[in-house]
Chains A and B, each alone.
Chain A
Amino acid sequence: MPKNTLISLFAFFLLGLMPALEPAGAADAKKYQRTIEAYAIPDVVLVNQNGTKVRLREVLKSDKPIIVDFIFGTCTTICPILSVGYANLQQKLGANSRSVHLVSISIDPENDTPKVMRDYLKRYRAKPGWDFLTGSRSDIDKVMYAFNAYIPNKMSHYPLTLIRSPRDGKWIRIFGLLSSSEFMNECQKVGIR
């Protein structure tokens, strides 16, 4: 390994990495960060698990509550937990599963083809009302930027859940992993029950 790599590595380590580790502590303490945000949705066309093109602005302009997360098909640890939360919410809503629109957006759009996404949803026994969206890398980047969730690389992602209230179009932004009761609690605030 060249010397300058070592030096930059060391410098980078001192400068940049402390914040990256915070979520670990947060998870330990069973705490998550919660803020209320307004987002401008970029006008991009994404593709869902059935290979159908969808305009994101239209998808997110619903009079139903909407929940958005960022995952990918081969992800370990975080995505399984987030997706199990979605699956569980659908389970609890039973026949009402369509009363909320669950949206998972791929952060590995080149690997997440409609087929990969279909298989993923099947594994979590997803019911209608949960869509997995992919697209071109540049469009996905735009979406991540818009939600203040941009990461240059999928392996450096973090758990984020965004819940949109149909009442005012504002978003509850949750950083961290939620338990089922915490998740239900947040859902109830936007009228999901």
Chain B
Amino acid sequence: MTSRGMWRHGRSFVISLLVLIAAVGPQVCPAQNSAGSPAAEKIRLGEQMYREGILPSGEPLRAYVKGDIPVPGTAFSCVSCHLRSGLGSVEGGVFTPPTNGDKLFQPFQLLFKGLEQKYFPLPPRRPAYTDATLAEVIRSGATPTGGTLNDVMPRYLLEDEDMALLLSYLKGLSSHYSPGVSATTLHFATVITDEVSPEERTAMLAPLEQYIAIKNNQARAYRAPGNKSRQMAENMLVSKELATRTLTLSRWILKGSPETWRKQLEEYNRKDPVFALLGGVSSGEWKPIHDFSEANRIPCLFPITNLPVISETDWYTLYPSKGYYQEGEAAARYLHTDGVLPQGAAVVQIVRDSPEGRALAAGFRQTWLDSGNGAPLTVLLKAGQTVTKEILRKATGKKNVAVVMVWDGPECVPALQSLVTAGKRPLSLFVSARYLGEKLWTLPEQIRPFTYISYPYTFALSVTYSAMGNAKLQEDQRQALGQADVTIKNHAQEIASLDTTLTQIVTMALMDLRGNYYRDNFFDVIGMIADQPSSVFGRLSFGPGQRYASKGCYIVQLTKGPRPELVKKSGWVIH
């Protein structure tokens, strides 16, 4: 166990201790309001106040923090502190209590007696809120017991009608356990699309199913009276809660064309509702599954895909990385910051019309435009069309073209040789390591000095399958070696490694849920977890609302010779 990991567990333990609140088993089956109905409109307006800080009038909520600091407009709102589920957080020594329906309208008191009372300051006990006392505490900070809230909690100036909307939103917020939760089970599923090879399916399923088996065994041990593990679990108050529920995992296999996936997913979910989707694997675009999760508000954690949906606002899918898009992004950032591009020089992208090619090109284009550059030129390669000398000559012959991106798979490699001989040689050529695969190592010698490769993996010796050559050992590699305990030699092992990381995240998330089985709380607590080491990406990081865990991608070059090495030209993250 690393020291980071230890800190992590220590912290979540404290959080759990701080928030041991009596919980009455909430009933399932939330009131369903069809969209557009007056009730649904009320919820929408309340949600807008809670999440965006905007009143039904369209004006921002008015508030003061720390006694006298007016909050500028919509800089932050309830969600910034109490989080999306309303279950609150502990951050930087500030305890933000729950404001969800289930907790507010029952007394805040301690359920378990023990260590926590001796060592930790606890939030004050209070009776259940009523509409009147709740409105009062939000407006003035005056609590039902005659105290005053800490002034980190803003004071909100709200008219009665607006207050009524906010209160009814809080009443419905995390007030009934999410679907997939019963008194005895917590139900998950994992999505696998039909074209995935049996080997890769197993790579994804094995760590996950094994993890669930171990967890359930531990819970059984806990329930057995007189068992030693039980004494351990007694000390670990948080796991007591987990021990009462068995984890179950269904396989949702999607067949046929992607257009039919959504219907299949809806059908699976109707018959067999789940709390969340764990892992999953597809070689196609994840979009149909992403859209399903988003529409049904079902968290999907760590699907194995290099073709995720790129969105700054979608909430319900947390990807290991941005995949191909991230490589295009890195190429743009490198080209923009390294400053070698002459004034007025143009960039041309030669793009395979495939999901991979389009994602690489989109990542480059968007990032390039965001940095204030002009749009790149694009040449699309249709199905069956390969890169030829002629295509390259035409591309480099265009006005002012200094840089060429070839976002294509291994089949483009032979033609690249012609960049040396045919007409104008570009200043630089960019290609994708992931898309070229093992052909990367056969890039013609003469183009290597001006070829830049996006390389989305940790620069560690343990990742060898796309790096059959030797990588030079540097400081961060040594660090990564220390973290990595899996040697990755093929795609199946990459999947297995990511999936093992997934099980670590789930372990922490389940503890941090503290028995509050609301889907939004699942991603709220994951947003608070510490960085995790990964044999594939080096370091994975999380944060409220962050949805792509790996943040980096190197730009590398290849040395000369038959057994070339990768040489880093950039840092992991390029700003």
Listed in ascending order, the chain A residues whose CB lies under 8 Å from chain B are: 1, 3-6, 8-10, 12-13, 16-18, 20-28, 30, 47, 51, 72, 74-78, 80-81, 83-85, 87-88, 91, 108-111, 113-115, 123-125, 134-137, 152-159, 177-181
A23 touches B94 (CB 8 A): yes
Main secondary structure of the interface of B (DSSP, over half): loop
Number of A-B contacts (CB under 8 A): 184
Q: Assign chain B's interface to a size class.
A: 35 or more
A158 touches B575 (CB 8 A): no
Contacts A125-B72, A152-B7, A159-B92 hold; do A110 and B552 have CB atoms under 8 A apart?
A: yes
Q: Which of A6, A20, A24, A124 has the most CB of B within 10 A?
A: A24
Could you tell me the distance in whole angstroms from the C-beta of A3 to the nearest C-beta in chain B?
7
Nearest to B218 among chain A residues (CB) is A1
- Produce 1/0 per residue, B558-575, CB < 8 A to A: 000000000000011101
- The residues of A that contact B371 with a CB separation of less than 8 Å are 51
- The residues of B that contact A16 with a CB separation of less than 8 Å are 7, 10
User: Which one, A1, A110, A124, contacts B239 given CB within 8 A?
Assistant: A1
- Produce 1/0 per residue, B503-529, CB < 8 A to A: 000010000000000000000000111
Listed in ascending order, the chain B residues whose CB lies under 8 Å from chain A are: 1, 3-4, 6-11, 13-14, 65-76, 80-81, 83, 89, 91-96, 119-121, 150-152, 218, 232, 235-236, 239, 336-337, 370-372, 507, 527-531, 539, 541, 543-546, 551-552, 571-573, 575
Could you tell me the distance in whole angstroms from the C-beta of A185 to the nearest C-beta in chain B?
12
Q: How distant is the Cα of A18 from the Cα of B17 in the complex, in angstroms?
A: 13
A136 touches B571 (CB 8 A): yes
Could you tell me the distance in whole angstroms from the C-beta of A115 to the nearest C-beta in chain B?
6
Could you tell me the distance in whole angstroms from the C-beta of B467 to the nearest C-beta in chain A?
22
Nearest to B77 among chain A residues (CB) is A80
Contacts A84-B65, A114-B575 hold; do A25 and B4 have CB atoms under 8 A apart?
A: no
Closest 6 interchain pairs by CB?
A23-B93, A110-B551, A78-B92, A179-B66, A80-B76, A47-B575
- The residues of A that contact B1 with a CB separation of less than 8 Å are 4-5, 8
Could you tell me the distance in whole angstroms from the C-beta of B114 to the nearest C-beta in chain A?
12
Q: How distant is the Cα of A66 from the Cα of B537 in the complex, in angstroms?
A: 37
Contacts A109-B573, A153-B7 hold; do A77 and B89 have CB atoms under 8 A apart?
A: yes
- The residues of B that contact A134 with a CB separation of less than 8 Å are 575
B150 touches A13 (CB 8 A): no
Q: How distant is the Cα of A178 from the Cα of B551 in the complex, in angstroms?
A: 33
A10 touches B235 (CB 8 A): yes
B81 touches A153 (CB 8 A): no
Nearest to B3 among chain A residues (CB) is A152
A84 touches B75 (CB 8 A): yes
B69 touches A76 (CB 8 A): no
